[in-house]
Amino acid sequence: MASGTTLALDLIAFVVSILLFLRVNKWRMRKGLCLPPGPPRLPIVGNLFGMPRESSWLTYTEWGKVYGDIISVQVFGQAVVVLNSAKVARDLLEKKASIYSGRPTIPMFELMKWSWFEMSNTYSAKWRLQRKMLDRGLRPSAAVHYRSMEKDKVHRFLKQLLSRPKEFLKHIEHLQGAITMSLVYGYDVEEENDGYIKLALDTNEIGQRTMLPGSVIVNDLPFLKHLPEWLPGMGFKALARVGEKLGQEVVNRPFTLVKSNMQLGTARRCMTRENLLEAEGTHVSNPEEVDLAIAEASASVYNAGVDSTVSAISTLFLALILHPDVQATAHAELDTVTGGQRLPDYGDRSQLPYVEAVCKEVLRWRNVAPVGVPHATTDDDIYDGYIIPKGTTVISNIWAILHDPRVYPDPDKFKPERFLMPDGRVKEDATLTAVFGFGKRICPGRHLVESTLFIVAASLMATYTIGKAKDPQGNEIPVDGTYTGATILSFPKEFKCSVVARSNKAEELIRKDTWGNAAA
């Protein structure tokens, strides 16, 4: 016989399900209006059992072939609308940004107390303050001040590849962590197992696997967060405690370091220091509140920056392994510009259109965040005859947008030349900006990502040849090119490769003490 507690839980679940079911169906009763089409739904639970848990972008793309560029699913009455084309995404997320710039409530983030994370915050006064701080530190004019630092980190990366080429994935992770920590906090990462990088990676791992609809059960059944932890299926609560602790450390630990260095007069130029100095100059009446806003804005960049570009640089390596002809063309262009006598620099960017096209194709071919970060409607909307109710989760399927054969013929092929005009100049491509999101929620660090990827790609291909690794018998080790698909960011699954200096001169350039001066 069932216990009283079990019966009570069943009753709660049943009542909540009915209420949600009725909430959704009120839209169906509006004459001529319904949600966008989508796969068949079961009563009450909707598409609960059909929601993709792995590589959701591929499932959404296949559904789009059947139901169109705008589709919908439901889980216990909560509508999720997926946008599968650039036109629909722009029509809604940009032209109607005033009602499509919200973020869905993420019950797991509420449990972890992640209100500090700008990327998931709803459109509000707090978010606008955070965004202002991020834009100040990440705009192109500000990024110029950090170019010397970036080159220093990239040079160290080239040396690491020379001494331990088999650990290239670890070096990529260290490179991006070092750039992010220096940019945001003025902290120089020396050790590859640095605690600050590990902290960000651990925090990201939890955030990525608990953000999307269907990723954890409490996101689909929010009432579960009110139930006791000892009940079966409540394991997400223990994970939430870990996430809360990590989040507090991410916000406070590096921020406190900057504040301490400022008091000592040793703080380097960085985004956090500049925002603190700006706040001091405006004589704010609530310094503690402003400090918290700066700490949270910095933590958002810290967290987002450590992981995202790692995926893009890893994809660069993979693309060069699988497409030696692309690498050969880039080598020739780089040698024409540098003469093989120096490392390429930011000033060479306009003279390296093919290298630039390689970077663009890396971002398009294997998107860092294939479904982006979900938006949410803050009011009812009608689009193309469909109702999109207030509170709907809206997902832009960036993978589908950047693999649309109507825009990119042979979308699964890695073809940098698709971004070049007949005269060899780089082609402007408005669709590619989808990789950074849409509207008011577009990634504030997009300019930094593009410049970092360029200097890494140009420096790497100027000095190294990337190829397939070989086993002890001399046979090439196959590379299947598969990607992870369970979190909001997608990474190449671990692969092996050969990293060999192109020439004695290239090795000499790598071993120099600085970007331009030979070692004594």
The reported pLDDT for the residue numbered 175 is 95
Q: Which residues pair with 24 in a beta bridge?
A: none
The reported pLDDT for the residue numbered 3 is 47
The reported pLDDT for the residue numbered 15 is 57
User: What does the mean pLDDT of the chain come to?
Assistant: 89
Tell me the pLDDT tens digit for each residue of 491-509. 999 999 999 999 999 999 9
Contacts of 232 (CB under 8 A, 6+ apart): none
- Torsion, Cα of 238, 242, 245, 247 (10° steps): -120
Closest CA to 278 of 249, 287, 305, 381: 287
- In whole angstroms, give the CA distance from residue 131 to residue 302: 14
Tell me the average pLDDT across 286-310: 87
The reported pLDDT for the residue numbered 2 is 41
- Supply the DSSP symbol for 494: P
The reported pLDDT for the residue numbered 150 is 94
- In whole angstroms, give the CA distance from residue 9 to residue 251: 37
Residue scoring higher pLDDT (485 or 282):
485
Residue scoring higher pLDDT (57 or 53):
57
pTM: predicted TM-score of the whole model, two decimal places: 0.89
- In whole angstroms, give the CA distance from residue 116 to residue 230: 29
Cα atoms in the Cβ-side hemisphere of radius 13 Å centred on 23: 18
Percentage of the chain exceeding pLDDT 70: 92
- In whole angstroms, give the CA distance from residue 139 to residue 131: 11
Tell me the pLDDT tens digit for each residue of 111-156. 999 989 888 888 788 888 888 888 888 888 887 888 999 999 999 9
Instruction: Inform me whether the pLDDT recorded for 490 exceeds 60.
Output: yes
In angstroms, the first-to-last Cα distance of the chain is 83
HEC sequence for 283-346: CCCCHHHHHHHHHHHHHHHHHHHHHHHHHHHHHHHHHHHHCHHHHHHHHHHHHHHHCCCCCCCH
CA angle 289, 292, 297 (to 5 degrees): 130
Tell me the pLDDT tens digit for each residue of 57-92. 999 999 999 999 999 999 888 899 999 999 999 999
Architecture of domain 4-511 in this structure = Orthogonal Bundle (1.10)
The reported pLDDT for the residue numbered 6 is 47
CA distances (Å), origin 104, targets 79, 80, 116, 378, 449: 11, 10, 15, 10, 26
- In whole angstroms, give the CA distance from residue 510 to residue 459: 10
Distance, C-alpha 445 to centroid of its chain: 10
Tell me the pLDDT tens digit for each residue of 213-263. 678 888 878 889 999 999 998 999 999 999 999 999 999 999 999 999 999
The reported pLDDT for the residue numbered 288 is 84
- In whole angstroms, give the CA distance from residue 444 to residue 70: 26
Q: Which helix (H) or strand (E) holds 202?
A: helix 195-208
The reported pLDDT for the residue numbered 221 is 82
- In whole angstroms, give the CA distance from residue 117 to residue 293: 11
Instruction: Inform me whether the pLDDT recorded for 25 exceeds 70.
Output: no
CA distances (Å), origin 364, targets 85, 236, 358, 416: 14, 34, 10, 10
Give the dihedral sign, CA 126/128/129/131: positive
423-458 burial code (b ≥16 CB/10 A, e <16): eeebeeeebbebbbbbbbbebbbbbbbbbbbbbbbb
- In whole angstroms, give the CA distance from residue 460 to residue 316: 10
Closest CA to 175 of 161, 158, 163, 157: 157
Percentage of the chain exceeding pLDDT 90: 68
**Residue 176 phi, psi (nearest 5):** -70, -35
- In whole angstroms, give the CA distance from residue 72 to residue 50: 12
Burial of residue 146 (CB within 10 Å: 0-12, 13-18, 19+) is buried
- In whole angstroms, give the CA distance from residue 431 to residue 447: 16
Is the separation of the CB atoms in 310 and 453 below 8 Å?
no
The reported pLDDT for the residue numbered 23 is 54
CA distances (Å), origin 2, targets 9, 10, 445: 11, 10, 54
Kindly report which listed range (209-218, 353-362, 363-372) carries the lowest average pLDDT score: 209-218
The reported pLDDT for the residue numbered 410 is 97
